[in-house]
Amino acid sequence: MTEVQRELFGQMPPEEGGGAVEKFVLKSDSVKVEILSLGCTIAALEVKGRDGKFSDVVLGFDTLEGYLRKHPFFGAVVGRVANRIAKGRFTVDGKEYQLFLNNGPNSLHGGAKGFDKVLWSPQVLPNGVCFFRLSPDGEEGYPGDLKVWVTYTLSGAELAINYRAQTSKTTPISLTNHAYFNLAGQGSRDIYDHVIFIEADSYLPVDDTKIPTGEVAAVQGTSFDLRQPVELGKHLEKFCLDGFDHNFCLQQAQARRLVARACHPPTGRTMEVHTTQPGIQFYTGNNLDGSLKGKGAITYPKHSAFCLETQNWPDAVNKPHFPSALLQPGEEYNHTTWLLFSAA
């Protein structure tokens, strides 16, 4: 059985349009997750280790103020288009659209005020919560009125995140959740003792602004071959890597499949990622620098968390040979990602 509680988390400042930010607590025997109506944000996620004790395994803040300041999308749903669009430009039906540039020469995670920075309308479900919003035509430069539903449901040790959308005009869309995980417990120093597995035969090489070059490269014989589990710290050292911030290309099937697994041997905690999405961005918190004070006033240094963001491939709207990122009127965007937790 899943218990669902609803409480006030804070109040948006008047200059942000005011409004109450609510927190929804979903609780089963083995998982407790806290989700905010601001950005559909996973603010806390407590799971058991092999000792039976719960630890919060996602980075974030204790108060609303933390989420209102600049931060690297902790726990939020990002959109309309997750990841980067080259030069913030794309053409649909012969018309060019220009987005806000918020990541060097590119547009990242929806622009200046993406889905992570807005209040969503919640509806409590027996085992979770469904958030809705209408992203109006022209918001952040994107075409079409876009209706979006993000639904979190908890069933035992499995958290499911379903994304649905419908549009009035052809528009690019790619939604993901940007939770930063540390299975040792948030606030732990690094993720070097985590063991990572990603079921992908290819990945996307990127230029120096992190935009895919267009090549779909085989992982075989490279540092990107994570098809056999690797201990992250040793792997980064072996290949002299600063970290990962790359899209791994998943088997092209709409069906649910296991695509990644992260384990923390000292605590026994394991997280499996299953999805219907065509890609997964593996990011090792390379840009965390200890400047942000998170939960319990703990700072988050470089490599103190990882993200496994299930999504479409970056810049797909400008790369015809990538999986299509376009949603047409009359169609429905519908993807689910499942996070399954265990302790051995």
Is 287 annotated in some ligand binding site? no
Short-list 241, 246, 157, CA closest to 200: 246
CA nearest to 195, candidates 277, 269, 275:
269
Tell me: is residue 178 an annotated ligand-binding position.
yes
Is residue 180 marked as binding?
Answer: yes
Evaluate whether 106 touches 211 at the Cβ level (below 8 Å). Answer: yes
Non-local (6+) Cβ contacts of 113 within 8 A are 140
Based on the residue annotation, tell me whether 309 is a catalytic residue of this protein.
yes
Could you tell me which of 77, 47, 33 has the C-alpha nearest to residue 307? 77
Active-site position among 71, 109, 178, 194: 178
331, 15, 337, 17: which is closest to 173 by C-alpha?
331
Alpha-carbon distance of 42 to 280, in angstroms, equals 18
Report whether 37 contacts 22 (CB < 8 A): yes
CA distance 325 to 216: 17
Q: Is 84 annotated in some ligand binding site?
A: yes
Q: Which of 71, 264, 309, 335 is catalytic?
A: 309
Annotated binding-site members for beta-D-galactose? 83-84, 178-180, 245
Where in the sequence numbering do the catalytic residues fall? 178, 309
Annotated binding-site members? 83-84, 178-180, 245
